Chain A
Amino acid sequence: DAGVIQSPRHEVTEMGQEVTLRCKPISGHDYLFWYRQTMMRGLELLIYFNNNVPIDDSGMPEDRFSAKMPNASFSTLKIQPSEPRDSAVYFCASSTGQSPTTDTQYFGPGTRLTVL
């Protein structure tokens, strides 16, 4: 299996521009998670999906952030308009959701976003 795939790997944009990050989870995984990692705030969960349905978006910082999962093999995280404080590494992760305890989460390589 190719693992979780994210694109782009790096994104540099100017303040006010729209940014779209993409994720392809591992085939057969029912859960998809979006995280943001910064030095100041660590690794934060933004939103997660179960069978393409958003379950918890309480970590989404504000209305400028939105996430969709139109099908089991694709998800997007959109920031519009972007701001310099959105600069971070954004990770997508997926899990099977079949464990009676807590599943292992498999992380993608991340997208390093820089907003100038």
Chain B
Amino acid sequence: GQQVMQIPQYQHVQEGEDFTTYCNSSTTLSNIQWYKQRPGGHPVFLIQLVKSGEVKKQKRLTFQFGEAKKNSSLHITATQTTDVGTYFCAVNTGFQKLVFGTGTRLLVSP
């Protein structure tokens, strides 16, 4: 079945540093979603990307969808302690079904 790899698995940064997580698929994607899960919490939707090369921003977060629609990235500028959590990409495999990536766990030290 569809597999979605994310790198890195884990990153520890100092507050104020930037952070990027990458999501890669072996197949062309129709769209991709990003979710954030705080420690002890549940996944919460952040954004959906649909178009090739699409770039969307949410404050300090920048999301990109690759030109070939096989990869995506999430970049956080000047991390804050509130950014702590695990970031998942999720891809649609038909009929509203999502396959979640392996996730990148972000730890931010003050």
Residues of A within 8 A of B (CB): 31, 33, 42-43, 45, 48, 50, 55-56, 91, 93, 95, 97, 101-110
Contacts and interface: CB of A to CB of B under 8 A. Distances in A.
B98 A102 contact: yes
B102 A42 contact: yes
A104 B31 CA distance: 12
Interface of B: 30-31, 33, 41-45, 48, 50, 88, 92, 95-103
Contacts of B95: 50, 55-56
B100 A42 contact: yes
B42 A107 contact: yes
10 contacts: A42-B101, A45-B97, A50-B96, A91-B42, A101-B31, A102-B48, A106-B45, A107-B43, A109-B41, A109-B42
A102 B42 contact: no
B92 A102 contact: yes
B45 A97 contact: no
Contacts of A105: 43, 45, 98
B98 A108 contact: no
A48 B43 CA distance: 17
Ranked 5 nearest A-B pairs via Cβ: A102-B92, A107-B42, A43-B100, A104-B45, A101-B31
B48 A101 contact: yes
Given A101-B50, A101-B92, A43 B43 contact: yes
A43 B48 contact: no
